[in-house]
Amino acid sequence: QVQLVESGGGLVQAGGTLRLSCAASGTIFSIIYMGWYRQAPGKQRELVAAITSGGSTNYADSVKGRFTISRDNAKNTVYLQMNSLKPEDTAVYYCNVNAFAGTKRAYDYWGQGTQVTVSS
């Protein structure tokens, strides 16, 4: 099993910055990719950013140029640097990890979510 511990959410004014962290632990053989999703009230969960073990990244159009995803493979940790935050970035942010953890195929694991609130 894989456990994910997220940190770094909070309340910030528009234009401000936050940095989210997510540390994965457990019986991890290898991590394929790590990412962040978010879900605003009344909306579907959406991909914010993802990064592969090789460092390839993918971003939602709405955050390109403002958010940066990175990872520390040695620590099994993924980060999301969020700059120039907007009120529409307000959501619960979830860490997602796709990994082999004592299984024959990779599975998705999810964090408990961290609230990000951007005031105007």
Q: Where are the beta strands (DSSP E) in the chain?
A: 2-7, 10-13, 18-26, 30-39, 46-52, 57-59, 67-72, 77-82, 91-100, 107-110, 114-119
pLDDT tens digits along 40-60: 999 999 999 999 999 999 999
Phi-psi region of 113 (alpha: psi -120 to 50; beta: other; left: phi over 0): left
pLDDT tens digits along 60-113: 999 999 999 999 999 999 999 999 999 999 999 999 999 999 889 999 999 999
CB of 98 closer than 8 Å to CB of 107: yes
